[in-house]
Amino acid sequence: MAVTKLSNSGIKTGVLKYDSMLAGNAPFDPAATWLIQRVNGTGSSGVITFSNIPQTYQHLQIRFIAKNSTTTSVADHLYLQANGLTTSTYYSHFMYGSGTAAFAGNFMTQPQVTIRDAIYRSNATYPNMFGVGIIDIHDYTNTSKLKTVRAFTGRDGNGDGVVTLSSGVYPATSAITSLTLSSATGNFTTTTSFALYGFKG
Amino acid sequence: MANTYVLIASNTLSSSAASVTFSSIPSTYTDLVLRYSIRTDFAGLNIAQARVTFNGTTSGYSRTILNGDGAAASSGRATSQANFEPEEGSPSASNTANTFGTTEIYIPNYLVSANKAYGSFAVGENNTTTPVYLSARAALWQNTSAITSITLTANTGNFVSGCAFFLYGIKKN
Amino acid sequence: MIVLPDTSTEVAIATTTLSSAASTITFSSIPSTYTDLRIVLTGTSSSGSPFIRFNSDTGTNYSYTVLRGDGTSASSSRESTLDKIWLSFGAGPSAGNPDFFTVDVFSYAGSTNKTCLTTSSMNHNGTDEEVARNVGLWRSTSAITTITLSRNVGNFNTGTTATLYGIL
């Protein structure tokens, strides 16, 4: 068996030295956006719930693609409730393009934030067509703020459609620990998907 | 691989302040995203705005506006301005307590040696039947400097305690 | 052993910065590993209007509904059975003043028709400008593997940047 002598000078020979603990590496920037949970429609429920939402982010964002099982008429509103609050104390506002004109309006004293006309129904005229959207909630853990909801949604059916900007308020200062999204009618199809993301702050 | 969407800096006010500044913005990103919630202490309903300036410059800003006020949609513009205002009117002192407006501003190519195009979407809510504003804006800063700082100044009064500002960087590769 | 956290939800897939003017920017071989895609396009142009196509489909399989402000009035319009989805809806380019567009494509690798949300930010300090929010549809159940950004006339100028992001 060979014997190797380790000397002070021998160990130091060829060793790179750095003035920074990074040792020549780029600093690590932790990611600011994270997928918390994805929930798909089951075909047997018009409700999707995100529960036990971690309190470790600053903002929440929901991205969705949605269709429901109702076969008559065209589309439905998307409802959003927080922390199981169902009293008629939510307010919502919207601005939308119908394809022929621009409109604005509101939903007052409702049991949910109402995001207008965001879900396609399973009308045979609009096969395999969906409403989509991005919903943002800032500072969802802050217990000194009512929670403002901001949304950009739309649906197009090749001759039908609506594009909408919406706002709403969850009228409580409680930190949001659960969010419920529901269709005004019918059940979400199995091709419906809602994803909840957290933004670090 | 470096992460694409990164928090650069944040500032949550523990007391009222007239302005907030993000300075020494690193040049290691491609785009910037500002997300914030505001309310001001000036008497009035839905009058709060954040006046945004880059690099301390007070010229070269313009915007095209699409507003909804709960009853009607409208459009307008402002040219050759001293700052960019993303909001038509977020909550202020006469709004329902604890209501805040939220805004997102997306600034692509903030380092490019060319004029800067960017966009925003802002909403305010009041938790009552009074009208509030939604506003989408297209904006231009006619300045070829890289953006190294961003200042948000309350249009009237001060941003109240609890206003929170977050600057994110996005890398394209 | 140090275990680093997962990469972020939003990942840059590809980017192009034009070194010379071009009428088309293409993202091809798009991986199917994400849920949604986002395209960010900014730069100046010589003339015309930008549009987007998927999988090189030039058939009349596209449509859109738009909400728009032109600096004077808010309006909405729609077109159906088109061969493209427009990214701007009336405003034209302005020399020296860039425009900025985003496109979010939902469930791009799934077997549903493909719906996208687009934003248009075209401000030129007072002339020929718009802010728009649009929903577009590509009537195809194929997974998106190619995205083409083009102009009906003219070019994207040198320096135009287009970046494709995947969102988990």
pLDDT of residue A12: 67
Query: Could you give phi then psi for residue A9, rounded to 5 degrees?
Result: -70, -35
Asked whether the beta carbons of C115 and C135 are under 8 A apart, the reply is yes
- CB-nearest to B162 from A144, A150, A169 is A144
* Residue A69 reports pLDDT greater than 50: yes
pLDDT of residue A7: 76
Structure confidence by residue, pLDDT tens digits, A99-122: 999 999 999 999 999 999 999 999
Asked whether the beta carbons of C121 and B117 are under 8 A apart, the reply is yes
| CA pseudo-torsion sign B49, B54, B58, B61 | negative
Distance CA B95, CA A139 (A): 19
Structure confidence by residue, pLDDT tens digits, B44-82: 999 999 999 999 999 999 999 999 999 999 999 999 999
A171/B contact by beta carbon, under 8 A: yes
Asked whether the beta carbons of C156 and C43 are under 8 A apart, the reply is yes
Left (φ > 0), alpha (ψ -120 to 50) or beta: where does A27 sit? beta
- The ipTM of this complex is 0.97
* C-alpha angle B164-A61-B33 in degrees, rounded to nearest 5: 50
pTM score, whole prediction: 0.95
Mean pLDDT of A63-74: 97
pLDDT of residue C3: 39
pLDDT of residue A24: 74
* Residue C163 reports pLDDT greater than 50: yes
Q: Which residues contact C8 (CB under 8 A, 6 or more apart)?
A: A31, A32, A33, A34, B3, B4, B5, B6
Q: Indicate the SS3 state at residue A11.
A: helix
> With pLDDT > 90 as the criterion, what percentage of chain C qualifies?
95
Mean pLDDT of C14-40: 98
Structure confidence by residue, pLDDT tens digits, A27-42: 677 889 999 999 999 9
pLDDT of residue B71: 95
DSSP-assigned states of every residue in C119-154:
EEEE--SSSS-EEEEEEEEE---SPP--EEEEESSS
Q: Which of C106, C160, C109, C102 is nearest to C134 (CA)?
A: C102
Asked whether the beta carbons of A122 and A79 are under 8 A apart, the reply is no
C29/A contact by beta carbon, under 8 A: no
Subunit contact B76:C72, Cβ cutoff 8 A: yes
Mean pLDDT of A55-67: 98
* Residue C159 reports pLDDT greater than 70: yes
C143/A contact by beta carbon, under 8 A: no
- CB-nearest to C121 from B3, B73, B138 is B138
Structure confidence by residue, pLDDT tens digits, B95-151: 999 999 999 999 999 999 999 999 999 999 999 888 899 999 999 999 999 999 999
pLDDT of residue A1: 67
- If one counts every other C-beta atom within 10 angstroms of the C-beta of residue C94, the result is 21
Nearest chain B residue to C76 by CA distance is B73
> With pLDDT > 90 as the criterion, what percentage of chain A qualifies?
85
pLDDT of residue B1: 58
Give CA separation, A103 vs A95, A188, B33, B90, B125, in Å: 6, 27, 28, 20, 18
Distance CA C25, CA C81 (A): 23
Structure confidence by residue, pLDDT tens digits, C54-97: 999 999 999 999 999 999 999 999 999 999 999 999 999 999 99
Residue C2 pLDDT level (bands cut at 50, 70, 90): very low
Query: Could you give phi then psi for residue A10, rounded to 5 degrees?
Result: -65, -40
- CB-nearest to B75 from C42, C69, C133 is C69
The 3-class SS string of A49-80 reads: EECCCCCCCCEEEEEEEEEECCCCCCEEEEEE
Nearest-CA distance from B115 to chain A in Å? Answer: 27
pLDDT of residue A17: 79
Nearest chain A residue to B95 by CA distance is A146
Asked whether the beta carbons of A116 and A94 are under 8 A apart, the reply is yes
